[in-house]
A and B are shown apart, each in its own frame.
Chain A
Amino acid sequence: MENKESLIQMENLKVAYPMGTEALKSVSISVNKGEFLFVVGSSGSGKSTLIKTLLGEIGVTSGQLTVAGRKLNKIKRKELPYYRRMLGVVFQDFRLLEDRNIFENIALSQRVIGVSHDRIKRNVNLMLEMVGLEDKRRAHPRELSGGEQQRVAIARAMVNRPAILLADEPTGNLDPQNSWEIMDLLEEMNQLGTTVLVVTHNNEIVNQMQKRVITLNQGMVTNDIPQGGYIQ
Chain B
Amino acid sequence: MKTFGYGLKQGIKNIGQNRLFSLAAIGTIATCLFLLGIFYALISNFQNMVYNAESTVGITVFFDEGISQEQIDYIKSEVEACKTVEKVNYISAEEAWENFQQEMYSENDRIEDTFDGENPLKDSASLEVYLSDVSNQESIVNLIHKIEGVRKINSSNSIAEGLTSFNTLVTYVSVSIIILLLMVSVFLISTAVATGIRVRKDEISIMKYIGATDQFIKLPFIVEGIVIGLVGAIVPLLLLWVIYDKLIRFILEHFSMLSQWLTFVDTVEEFRILIPLSFLVGIGIGFTGSVLSVRKHLKEV
Contact = CB atoms under 8 A, between A and B. Distances in A.
Interface stretch (B65-73, B87-95, B203-211): B203-211
Contacts of B213: 78, 81-82, 112
A85 B211 contact: yes
A84 B208 CA distance: 8
A84 B206 CA distance: 11
Nearest to A113: B211
A3 interface: no
Given A97-B203, A112-B216, A84 B209 contact: yes
A111 B6 contact: yes
A89 interface: yes
A204 to B, nearest CB: 28
Nearest to B207: A112
Contact of A89 (B3, B6, B209, B216): B209
Nearest to B6: A111
A95 interface: yes
Interface string B196-222: 000000110111111111101000000
Contacts of B142: none
Contacts of A111: 2-3, 6
Interface string B205-247: 1111111111010000000000000000000000000000000
A108 B211 contact: no
Interface in B103-157: none
A116 B210 contact: no
Contact of B202 (A55, A89, A95, A117): A95
A157 B209 CA distance: 9
B2 A112 contact: no
A114 B214 contact: no
Interface in A69-99: 78, 81-85, 87, 89, 95, 97, 99
B201 to A, nearest CB: 11
A50 B214 CA distance: 24
B207 A108 contact: yes
> Which 5 interchain pairs have the tightest Cβ spacing?
A85-B211, A84-B211, A112-B212, A81-B213, A109-B210
14 contacts: A81-B208, A81-B214, A82-B211, A84-B209, A85-B211, A89-B209, A97-B206, A109-B211, A111-B2, A112-B207, A112-B211, A112-B212, A114-B2, A117-B2
Given A55-B209, A112-B210, A112-B216, 6 more contacts: A81-B212, A84-B211, A85-B210, A108-B206, A112-B211, A112-B212
